Structure 1
Amino acid sequence: MRFTDKICLVTGGTSGIGQAACLRLGAEGGQVVALGRDKADGAETVRLITKAGGKAVFMACDLAKPKAIEATVKKVLAKFQRVDVLVCDAAMMTFEPLTKLTLDQWDLLMQVNLRSLAQLTQLCLPHMPKGSAIVAISSVHAHQTTANVVPYATSKGGLEAFVRGMSLELDFRHTRINAVAPGAVDTPMLWSNPNVKSGREKIDKATVGQPEELAAAIAFMASGEASFIHGTTLAVDGGRLAQL
């Protein structure tokens, strides 16, 4: 199994793509540390992993709070001494035109979607051994977006720039960093999107991906099988970007 005895830290690990990634990493032998805000959802993630014979713990962490991130990473290191795989999946969206959006809303989204990635990378890197990997979850919105989600699209574009830039600072034989960009995936975030509900963003239900399909891509990018992949974004979107 590709992640036997590896410490796998996953943000957004309580639902959707993040939870699916936790289950996949756990099924492949990883010691999963799932981060999220909801303790009940976190307990369910742990239950699913352990029921399947894997190992997992949940740690509550609000990525909007830098001190909480710092405290959580300290707990992870105190318990496991290292981080082999860091998957940054947690994200939020807003659905207002920019002229109606408060700067506080903008700042909160950037904290959760982008600054937390930088902080987690900064805190974990000194404790990531040879062969470790960072996988940041982007979105096709970094390349093809719709109205009223400008902050989200901006954060994902910034995330991909972060990945490219950090790849120049890292020795890929020690720690690799890459992004995975989902298209439309069957998650609560997709179906709660007002643009999708109104039809402004067209979704062909026949081509909506499943969280497990994204988890497979994330696990590949985090594994030794992707040892020569560094500083890039893998689009996992059912061909959506190919239609541009």
Structure 2
Amino acid sequence: MIRCRSRARLLLAAACLATLPALAQSPPATSPPAPLAAPAPQRLATSGDEALDNAVAAVVVAALAEQMNTPSIAVAIESFDVAIASLSDRTVSGQGRMRLGDDADWIGFRFSTLYDTTFASAGYPRILIGGVAAGEREVPNDSMLVRQLEERVTVELDRQFGDTSARLQLDDISTVEGGRRLLRINARGVADFGRNGNTPVRIEALYDQVANAWQRVNYELGVAPR
């Protein structure tokens, strides 16, 4: 396996979109990103392959703009890590920071995607919010927010599968404060579909304490608990 890694201070892009938070499993890395109105990002970091850098930066910025419930977002991609996945494919991962609207606080994130060297295109990225920026601290869980989160994901599971019997059993919940505005809530457990069986579930959400609104609610099914 060959890896190359590079870092840079900032890669900034503004995206003016008014979208709802993602309430579903993100598409796999091999799926093409949905067309968005996000502008092409300015790129300062480099992996040594300009086409790869541009394609990956574009899908990361577009995915964040699509998934965050905010009219504008600034994104700073700080590193790329490239590994050979096959003859024509590269696995690209890295980390960065984002800032919502005119908020002073930056939120760290990690990303990964698959880049096709034949078509110079990157798939829809997997993005994990938090756990990167300094100053984050764990705080007690808010039972009301946890209950809201369970209800939102349950409703979406019912909509996705056409089954009103979905229930969540969350046994691993943590809340991290990132700056003065956002709470990051991560949860793991089981999604129970009654007679249709059950499957592990992982939930990642961002709650805006200023706007009293969910910025992002994302879940993945079939992810084994740690």
TM-score by structure 1 length? 0.25
Of structures 1 and 2, the larger Rg is shown by 2
Using structure 2 for the length normalisation, give the TM-score: 0.26
